[in-house]
Amino acid sequence: MTKIASTALIYPNVILGDNVLVEDYCIVGLPFKGMKDESTIIGDHSIIRAGTYIYAGNHIGKHFQTGNKANIRELNQIGDHVSIGTSSVIEHHVEIGNWVRIHSQVFIPEYCLLEEKCWIGPNVVLTNATYPKHPTIKQNLQGVRLRRNSKIGANTTILPGVEVGENSLIGAGSMVTKDIKCNLIVAGNPAKKIRDIDYI
């Protein structure tokens, strides 16, 4: 049975699945500039915790949950069993696969790709603007690509356009400035190879 708190605001064109819980002071389906008739879909058995804002045009799978005050901008594709932590921000046109775990206070900018089973620790920052405030910056944003089962340690920053390979692990506090191949452990500023991963 779906339950919506009396203080929550659910806009038209929002489709909530079965057994969805929307807690106090959430806004779901929030209109955005240039919006046409985009629907917002949230799958079965999802939990939207207090203070979360979800803009219009998000298509979100089953067993989704947020921490308090998560902010999810418009037009994202989010899979099943995804968790987005307290005070994290997901910008628009982001693709998130199944079973992705995003901890608290994470920033994911436009055009990033997070493949299935990625794990992102608290206070991680992904970036997409190589030259901020350049006149053509909006036309040249490059999202980060996190391949399947990659793991990003707390307080890591990843620069625009970087790809982190499948199964790789980024140590906490790293600055990732270039692509990371599959099955590696890297750490540092700039992040460098520590060793190969000998388990999957």
- Tens of pLDDT along 69-80? 999 999 999 999
pLDDT of residue 28: 98
pLDDT of residue 138: 86
> Quick check: 137 pLDDT over 90?
no
Classify domain 1-92 by CATH number: 2.160.10.10
What is the average pLDDT score of the chain? 97
> Quick check: 128 pLDDT over 90?
yes
Mean pLDDT, residues 109-119: 98
DSSP, collapsed to helix, strand or coil, labels residue 169 as: strand
- Measured CA to CA, the distance from residue 95 to residue 86 in angstroms comes to 19
Mean pLDDT, residues 58-82: 98
> Quick check: 103 pLDDT over 70?
yes
pLDDT of residue 146: 98
Residue 21 burial (10 A CB sphere; 0-12, 13-18, 19+): middle
Q: Residue ranges of the domains in the chain?
A: 1-92, 100-200
pLDDT of residue 200: 59
Q: How far is CA 130 from CA 4, 143, 174, 177, in A?
A: 41, 10, 18, 11
Instruction: Provide, rounded to the nearest whole percent, the portion of the chain with pLDDT above 70.
Output: 100
Mean pLDDT, residues 137-155: 96
Q: Which residue has the higher pLDDT, 149 or 37?
A: 149
Would 1-92 and 100-200 be classified into the same CATH topology?
Answer: yes
Query: String of b and e for 63-82 (b: at least 16 CB within 10 Å)?
Result: bbbbbbbbbbbbbbebbbbb
Mean pLDDT, residues 187-199: 94
Q: Give domain 100-200's CATH architecture.
A: 3 Solenoid (2.160)
Query: For residue 190, is the peptide bond before it cis, meaning its omega torsion is within 30 degrees of 0?
Result: yes
Prediction pTM value: 0.96
pLDDT of residue 198: 83
